[in-house]
Chain A
């Protein structure tokens, strides 16, 4: 008995010793600091992590990587006498789960050598010590000497920067607009060429659509199940339309008039039955919304151009809409009232986009950088756009490619010339992810019947706990 107790004590004590100090290290600081590590290796192994998978989510991106990037880069390196093995870690989960996987992988020293994350997470990951500026991983001269930077527009570069340092290379950007179904609009007696000037105009159109049977008039992403989509597609454009940014001049919006207005818009459309709460509440709500929009069941949907090119595309979309070009209209998202938007704008939009970065734990920083810049080179992007995106293009991280290709797609042209000039990017603050979760909860509260004032007040209380009362504006 004594021996067993002794063993147990030793075991427990040992475990506790191991535990102490195990959490709370900065994972990136334990990464290698030698930018020239294995720079001359002849046999190189690299991996790419991306939230795309052949035959599933973002199929075109996955095929581009596996069918074009990997063989082309391997070939290029072979010419230099280097053997490269590249593995592709595809994924097809929702963006939130994918992000969690990357955090967990980075925390434990794993993850792809090159990985794609949402640009809005750069600040959070950096504050958490999960990633390092590109200069620290591959060398300052290498990074600033890259010719590609000049081809990435300044606004798109906001995606990869945090506190003035580049952490990644942006993949591209998008813009939010109001998509509407012209077939349903015709049935509801609404114009084929629709551009609301205020929120009231949206409500009016919604009421007309409500009379068409079997149709959800408006889909505005909200609630917690939609996660980040709620914030960027639904809430932030409304907040900007009410005249505020979520984070401005070092302070977060608390229980403010603009906050209550934006939540009030949710209340208006949901309490009048103009939107379907189930779409915002069920766990696959976004996919369901896409499918319903493609099936002519949703009148107006505030979404990113992503929906146009990756979901509804007649050739490469997940929910192909054969008559997309004639049946789907698009309009700018209006401010609450003309001129009431942020900075006196009449119309607003929000942009985001993925970025590609190098894992600070990579064993081959130089080769990873080569691969990264290859993927961001004009020929590679152009190949992606023309051969894998099925002609439907995306606002890319390369202005030259954009110039050449965007004019060919009416919506993308509209987004880049009309929406991007009035767009905003999400805050790059480390706390953003948590604040965004609170915003999602506030919209969920309103959708389930709470008043905007109550929801805003609950939100502001939780917000103060996250960022500190001193950094919150209430009015």
Chain B
């Protein structure tokens, strides 16, 4: 079984730690970034081994999550990355904007671990051993 890889992008290290822990428990290899630009650098360095999943906070310094999503979706070599917004932006219009920009899923903070795993499941990203 190939290793699943995730990139967790959030300016709060508490949130990065929380999401990373949950992903590691599911069998993921996890990289982190504190804002969109840092995350793009991680993707550039990844070469052919891009992450299967990126969790994307919206409000971050330097480059916000929406801009990051737009940039990722404009690169054909990064088409395979599933993009899940994980953000406190909870307005209906914001969700529409993010999906229109190319985000695949949207998780509003706060969220339970079960809800996060549900969203991963919708994206087909729960490694087989974690399902009953």
Do A and B pair up? The answer is no
Interface residues of chain A, those whose CB is within 8 Å of chain B, are none
